[in-house]
Every structure is written in structure tokens, then in C-alpha cells.
Amino acid sequence: MPTTRTDAERLDAEDVLAGFRERFALPPGLIYLDGNSLGPLPTSVAPAVHETIHRQWREDLVRSWVDWMELPTRVGDRIGALLGVGPGQVAVGDSTSVQLFNTLIGAARLRPGRQVLLTDPRHFPTDRYMAESAARLLGLRVVEVPAGEAAGWLARNGRDVAVAAYPVVDYRTGELWDIAGITAAAHDAGAVVLWDVCHGVGVLPLELARHDVDLAVGCTYKYLSGGPGSPAFVYAAERHHQALDLPLAGWLGHVTPFATGGPYLPAAGIARAVVGTPAILSLVALDAALDVYRDVAVEQLRDKSLSLTAFFIRCVDELPDEPAFEVVTPRAAERRGGHVSLRHEHAYGMIRALMPQGVVADSRPPDLLRFGFHPLYVSHQDVRESVERLWRVAETKQYTDPRFARTSAYG
């Protein structure tokens, strides 16, 4: 690679976010490019969980619920800041899958009489499954139109669309879709939008309020580093709160959680999107993890992220012609999310072979290598080093080692 270590060192020296790496308890020597799957442990998490277990649970017991009850909306507000929305519009809890189901039905009920639930044929599987399930219960029809064609399709055929449900970033290719354009087209057609922000929150300025987004759902264990299976969140713009009619009518979303009789009466505001008793240990870990975002602007995250992904693409471009990696992710900055995907027929074996080389990334079948670059703990030197090690794995065909063959559906 003509791109030298000096180039990487210079970029890192200019990096205003370089010191943030200390906020994470990364294993020494590891280049971690899989934070878009499971973020690493922030140093703030273990003390917070310890406090919750040993003081709140052990000593204060049920009295701690006075504090815990507020967590879903209090942590929601912290995430809202990263989404570019004001307070009182984000609730945290449940898994992304459950949030998607609940919000899809709530969204469709905002547009009664319309028959179409529009989504992306290449959307993440759980998004597609939940769209089918919601449509079946409501008697709607799922229509699949790729995100790149959605705005145009909505302009031509959108009259019967209740909800347009799209990912902000394609989880395979890393392509960033046109949030403003699809949202505007949906609104022009009279539909509401539901954005899945899983692969955008914490790395991109999503600006949901500025784009007039209706609803969004996202997870917190990727860039937000909330821990394995940390709870998901839902954003609903304030203008929809009063009409938001969610099927998961749990006791904590009731206007009077400790009411003992009568029908379900949803709470005012986003509190109606809180469902059942939240998983407090996981929620406390997430709350603490969000401390890594203190004193950093979303624009700084985006600048560093683009610098890292551009540098990665530049390094890959300078590799010898064989073995050839196709850069799948758009080269235009405005169309690039937080990760970069490369295509190679031996994607799976290469990613496995990179692990003993101290580089963790992941693969997606059939032939994609995915590299996630978190602006708070990945450096340009990490980027250069990972490409060099990838090239070594490829050149020496280490991926053919039987140790790196596929052994499990979860591998």
C-alpha cells in the first residue's frame, strides 16, 4: 500500500476524538471493527451495574422502583439527543423486533383505510417478518420497493400507502438512504414513515426532527455500546402522541400504572410506548454506556466516521489487483453509513482468519465482508493495519484453513 503509516499517524494526530478511546475497555491490541454488531464495553458500565445490584436491588429493594420507573423515558431523552429530537419523544425498552411490531401497527392505525405497508425487500429480516405479521393482523398488504426507488414509487403509487418502513442504512452494503427524500415523498402521498435507525444511531446525524420523521425504532447494542441485547427504543414525533394507538398495551404505558380496574387508557406523551416491566440491569448498563457520548457533537462523530471509512476505501483501492475486493459501499460520502462492505467469494473464511490476527469484523452471506468503524475508538492506524492484515490473509489464502470453515449457523 502506498498509503503509509505516516499518513495514518498524521490523520490520528489531527483527530479531536482520539482521546475518547479511553472511555472503552477494549482488549489490549485488538482492532475491533464489529461495533456495528456488538459495541465493546464502556468503562462506565460496570460501576453502574454494580451500584444497581449492590445498592438499589440488594439494599433498597422495591423502593428503587421510584427511580427505575423513570428510566425508559429518561434514557430515551439521552438517545433522543443523538437522533436530533427534543425531549419527551423517545421511550426505551423491549427488543428491536418487539418495538418494530408495536410501532408498525401503531403507524398503520394513524392512517386508517389505507391498505399498503411499504418496505424494503432487502430490509433486515426481522423488519420484514414483523411487517408481514402486522399486515396480516390488520388486513393490509406488504409491498416491497427498494429504498433507492421508494421516493419515486411513492410519488407515482403512494395513495394507498399507510406506512413506509425503511432502514436508514442498509445493514449489508452500508449504503445510507435518503431520509429526507423518502420522508417527504411519504408525506406527499399522505403516509407516515417508520425509519429503522439501528445502523445509524450513534454514528450519523439523523436529524429526525428536521426531516419531519414520524416514527423510528432502533437498537442500542451496536454503535451505542449498550451491551448484549440492551433494550431498543422508539421515537414518535410529539404531533402523533395523542393518536398513537399501540397494540402492546402494557401496564406501564397506562395513564395510571397502578390502576386495578377499568380499560386500558394510554398515558399522555411517549410514556404510552412503554410496555411492561423494563429489564433494569440491561437498561442501567445502556444508561451508563451513553456516557461515552458526553462532550461530543454528532457532527464530530460523522466527520471522523467519514474520515475512517474514506481512508479504509483508499487503503483497499491501493491493494494489488489480485485477490480482488469489490468495494460495495458507495464512495460518495453523502451515501455512506458507518460501515464499509467488501465483496469476495471467501468472505466468511477471511473474516474468521482475521480473528487470530487481532482484527474482529464480520461477514454476511453469501460474499460480504463488513467492517464497522466507530469514531470513538477506531483510529486511522487501526484502519490501515486491518487492511494490511486482510491482504495478508487473502494473499496467503489463510481462509482455506479448515479451522476457518463454517461450523455453525451462528458462526
Annotated binding residues for pyridoxal 5'-phosphate, written as ranges, equal 96-97, 124-127, 196, 199, 221, 251, 277
Q: Provide the minimum distance between the beta carbon of 37 and its own copies in the complex, in angstroms, as a whole number.
A: 6
Q: Provide the minimum distance between the beta carbon of 137 and its own copies in the complex, in angstroms, as a whole number.
A: 5
| Residue of 124, 293, 312, 404 with catalytic role | 124
Site for its own copies in 170-199 (CB under 8 A): 172
Residue 151 or 246 having the CB closest to its own copies: 246
Residue 338 interacts with its own copies (CB under 8 A)?
no
Q: Provide the minimum distance between the beta carbon of 349 and its own copies in the complex, in angstroms, as a whole number.
A: 16
Helix/strand/coil for 359: strand
What is d(CA 188, CA 171) in angstroms, rounded to the nearest whole number?
A: 27
Three state DSSP letters for 94-106: CCHHHHHHHHHHH
What is d(CA 407, CA 411) in angstroms, rounded to the nearest whole number?
A: 7
Q: Provide the minimum distance between the beta carbon of 128 and its own copies in the complex, in angstroms, as a whole number.
A: 8
**Virtual torsion, Cα 16, 19, 25, 29, nearest 10 deg:** 90
Q: Which of 7, 129, 160, 302 binds its own copies (CB under 8 A)?
A: 129
Residue 376 interacts with its own copies (CB under 8 A)?
no
Task: Give CA 302 to chain center in angstroms.
Answer: 15
Residue 109 or 187 having the CB closest to its own copies: 109
Site for its own copies in 305-324 (CB under 8 A): none
The grid cell for 329 is: 459501499
| Residue 221: active-site member | yes
Q: Which stretch binds its own copies (CB under 8 A): 131-139, 150-158, 184-192, 321-329?
A: 131-139
Q: Provide the minimum distance between the beta carbon of 188 and its own copies in the complex, in angstroms, as a whole number.
A: 30
Residue 330 interacts with its own copies (CB under 8 A)?
no
Residue 409 interacts with its own copies (CB under 8 A)?
yes
Q: With CA atoms as reference, report the closest residue to 300 among 70, 51, 45, 14.
A: 14
Q: Which stretch binds its own copies (CB under 8 A): 10-18, 98-106, 111-119, 321-329?
A: 98-106
Q: Which of 251, 269, 330, 389 binds its own copies (CB under 8 A)?
A: 251
Residue 267 interacts with its own copies (CB under 8 A)?
no
What is the spatial order of strands in the sheet that 116-119 belongs to?
90-92, 233-236, 215-218, 192-196, 161-167, 116-119, 141-144
Binding mask 213-232 for its own copies (x = CB under 8 A): ------x-x-----xxxxxx
Which residue matches cell numbers 389505507?
Answer: 114
Residue 328 interacts with its own copies (CB under 8 A)?
no
Q: With CA atoms as reference, report the closest residue to 375 among 299, 278, 308, 294.
A: 308
Residue 76 or 158 having the CB closest to its own copies: 76
Helix/strand/coil for 327: strand
Q: With CA atoms as reference, report the closest residue to 350 among 330, 368, 327, 338.
A: 368
Residue 133 interacts with its own copies (CB under 8 A)?
yes
Question: Do residues 83 and 205 make contact, with C-beta atoms less than 8 angstroms apart?
Answer: no
Question: Do residues 120 and 166 make contact, with C-beta atoms less than 8 angstroms apart?
Answer: yes
Q: How many CB atoms lie within 10 A of CB 149?
A: 10
Q: Which of 16, 155, 243, 259 binds its own copies (CB under 8 A)?
A: 259
| Residue of 178, 196, 287, 362 with catalytic role | 196
Question: Do residues 325 and 344 make contact, with C-beta atoms less than 8 angstroms apart?
Answer: yes
Q: With CA atoms as reference, report the closest residue to 231 among 266, 281, 267, 292.
A: 281
Residue 107 or 280 having the CB closest to its own copies: 280
Residue 96 interacts with its own copies (CB under 8 A)?
yes
What are the strands, taking DSSP E only, across 244-303? none
Site for its own copies in 52-91 (CB under 8 A): 52-54, 56-59, 61-62, 64-66, 68-69
| Residue of 370, 371, 373, 404 with catalytic role | 370
Task: Give CA 321 to chain center in angstroms.
Answer: 34
| Residue of 78, 114, 222, 352 with catalytic role | 222
| Residue 124: active-site member | yes
Residue 132 interacts with its own copies (CB under 8 A)?
yes
Q: With CA atoms as reference, report the closest residue to 72 among 320, 253, 313.
A: 253
| Residue 317: active-site member | no
What is d(CA 261, CA 177) in angstroms, rounded to the nearest whole number?
A: 46
Site for its own copies in 1-60 (CB under 8 A): 25, 27, 32, 34, 37-38, 40-41, 45-46, 49-50, 52-54, 56-59
Task: Give CA 13 to chain center in angstroms.
Answer: 29
| Residue 410: active-site member | no
Helix/strand/coil for 141: strand
**Binding residues for its own copies, total number by CB under 8 A:** 87
| Residue of 221, 311, 348, 373 with catalytic role | 221
- Enumerate the active-site residues: 124, 196, 221-222, 370
